[in-house]
Structure 1
Amino acid sequence: MRAKVNLSKEYRDIKDIVNKGSLNTVCQEAGCPNIFECWQDKEATFLIGGDACTRRCDFCQIESAKPTEYDTDEPVRVAESVLAMGLKYATITGVCRDDRDDLGVWLYAETIKQIHERVPGVGVEMLAPDFNGKPELLQQIFDQRPAVFAHNVETVPRIFRRIRPGFRYERSLDVLTQSRDAGLITKSNLILGMGETNEEVTEALEQLYAAGCQLITITQYLRPNVRLLPVDRWVTPAEFDDFAAQAKAMGYLGVMSGPLVRSSYKAGSLYREATEQLGQKVEASRG
């Protein structure tokens, strides 16, 4: 598999702004194969809270270590960078900060707030950790009304705890339910090739949809380095197409499924697809 490399002016301009602003982006930290395409399309994903995570996932390239200093100026810097980069859609995600009393939720909520205030009209997607499923913490995110609230389960129940020992599958489903109940568009991601079966993928899609998930991305696991989980299998393009068809038949508003898809890939397009369908459903209910 190869991703197209296009060192466009838009890509170079955004890279320069990110470096000058001392910002962390998932595009860079996670070695995303779509960085050139997304930055050219004026979409980017920012990693807040530092570059070390208090939890470990066996597929993730981000270092699991003692957290860096808590940077309360980061929300303003991110918002100013969104403005300077001329982004059309920004995804905000971050490391887990279990060292903080509020698990770092203030930083997430404040970043959305600052972007809304400084760059009106830009779509903001929040790709959040679970904040231990605590309603009072999640509500701080919901109150800022991101365009999309995303929380990734990443894998199926049978192997979930082995691969994501700091998380719980049912708790992740509940986080999505809480966000849907708050009136937000909801999104999640499944990474294939870590030991799951096709039947388990179908079951996970059904469980996510039942929990309130409206948008789904389905991706191929690419091993970032030899210290992380080996690739169990390479899912074929036909299988990815089949999972996409299954998800659409279940009722998902938007689906991205493919070997080089990542959870924030064409996030703005997926959001617009959802809002168009929701608009059609509203019109149909009036008729």
Structure 2
Amino acid sequence: MSAAPDGRKLLRLEVRNSQTPIEKKPSWIKTRARMGPEFTELKGLVRREGLHTVCEEAGCPNIYECWEDREATFLIGGDQCTRRCDFCQIDTGKPAELDRTEPRKVAESVQAMGLRYSTVTGVARDDLEDGGAWLYAETVRQIHALNPGTGVELLIPDFNADPDQLAEVFGSRPEVLAHNVETVPRIFKRIRPGFRYARSLEVITRAREAGLVTKSNLILGMGETPDEVAPAMKDLVDAGCEILTITQYLRPSPRHHPVDRWVKPEEFVEHSNAAEAMGFAGVMAGPLVRSSYRAGRLFAQTKARRGEALSENLAHLAAEGTAAQEASSLLAR
């Protein structure tokens, strides 16, 4: 049985999860470590400067490809979340005091790494009066101020759909506002008990109404059936979601929700084609796709579908290129 972090007792759900051994991954779930010159330079810089990214600390398999494209992801708000999702490796507990210097530190890391596009995500901070809205917004503002040529994608919790908190966040004008639904309605409450499906859709709708490019993610393999995926995608596009990523659930530890099924690349291609037919402007689907994977490219695609030109300082994001983890690329190998 897996031990709980920080010596706490396992939750009843974690005990039940731990009774199922970690599953063996199928042959199609693999990545190739291609260390190009940009990755090598960035890796050395991160070590020298003592910088911290989700890419390294979460052991993301796509780090070679994303860093080669000068894209990286940062986690803000600490390492303790006030909510618990059964798939997420971030632990639940009492968060540390808010670090009001964190936005500037992240912006300086973006500058030091010379990033073309940055994704900022974070924990839910229900312990704070504003739910952490200032922290998320200020991080975007600081990155833009210090790095005018860098795109910012902001992946947020739902802030309980509080109008004032959402207004604070939306007002920082990230290039993309992401809020991940993650799963289908039937199993949503079991997988994400601290969230509500309809409320998540509402957050996406409000972001779109605020004029932001909107994005969400679906994780497959947590108990949904293939037939439930299309209706969830339809809910998202109807809510105003423009970009969708679809990925395979990989279990972080025995404490977490067991893998229900391994989704083959062929099914990911089917879902990707269906999503494009529904009207999503940008879609990326594959077993090792993550919500921040090739994020700059998806943003550029969406702007083009909107008929809007990229600002001059972000024109570099329009460069075309293959995505190694996209299901169609896997099948073409």
SS for the counterpart of 2:257 is coil
Q: Answer whether contact 1:43 1:87 (CA < 8 A) is retained.
A: yes
Alignment of 1:202-221 (within 5 A): 202-221=230-249
Change (3 A) 1:56 1:86: same
Alignment of 1:111-130 (within 5 A): 111-130=139-158
Q: Which of these residues, 168, 175, 192, is aligned with residue 203 of structure 2?
A: 175
**5+ residue gaps, structure 1:** 282-287
The AA in structure 2 aligned to 1:268 is G
RMSD of equivalent CA atoms: 1.6
Looking at structure 2, the residues matched to 162 and 151 of structure 1 have their Cα atoms a distance apart, in angstroms, of 19
The AA in structure 1 aligned to 2:107 is A
The superposition leaves residues 113-168 of structure 1 with CA deviations (integer Å, 9 ceiling, x where unpaired) of 00111111211111111111111101111111111100000000110111111111
- Who is 1:270 aligned against? 298
The superposition leaves residues 55-114 of structure 1 with CA deviations (integer Å, 9 ceiling, x where unpaired) of 111111112121122111110111111111010000111011111111111110000000
* TM-score, length of structure 2 as denominator length: 0.81
Mapped pair 1:223 → 2:251: yes
* TM-score, length of structure 1 as denominator length: 0.93
Q: Which of these residues, 184, 192, 199, is aligned with residue 220 of structure 2?
A: 192
Query: What's the offset of the Cα at 1:23?
Result: 5.2
Looking at structure 2, the residues matched to 75 and 280 of structure 1 have their Cα atoms a distance apart, in angstroms, of 29
- Who is 1:259 aligned against? 287
Percentage identity across paired residues of the two chains = 61
Looking at structure 2, the residues matched to 12 and 74 of structure 1 have their Cα atoms a distance apart, in angstroms, of 26
Q: Which of these residues, 147, 155, 163, is aligned with residue 183 of structure 2?
A: 155
SS for the counterpart of 1:75 is helix
Mapped pair 1:76 → 2:104: yes
Larger CA Rg, structure 1 vs 2:
2
Looking at structure 2, the residues matched to 23 and 176 of structure 1 have their Cα atoms a distance apart, in angstroms, of 31
Change (3 A) 1:30 1:56: farther
SS for the counterpart of 1:149 is strand
Mapped pair 1:67 → 2:71: no
Q: Which of these residues, 102, 113, 116, is aligned with residue 85 of structure 1?
A: 113
Change (3 A) 1:71 1:108: same
The AA in structure 2 aligned to 1:84 is A
**5+ residue gaps, structure 2:** 1-28, 310-333
Query: What's the offset of the Cα at 1:6?
Result: 3.1
Mapped pair 1:26 → 2:57: no
The AA in structure 1 aligned to 2:86 is D
SS for the counterpart of 1:270 is helix
The superposition leaves residues 2-42 of structure 1 with CA deviations (integer Å, 9 ceiling, x where unpaired) of 11123445334434555566654332343321112111210
Q: Answer whether contact 1:13 1:85 (CA < 8 A) is retained.
A: no
SS for the counterpart of 2:307 is helix
Change (3 A) 1:45 1:211: same
Q: Which of these residues, 104, 110, 118, is aligned with residue 132 of structure 2?
A: 104
- Who is 2:22 aligned against? none
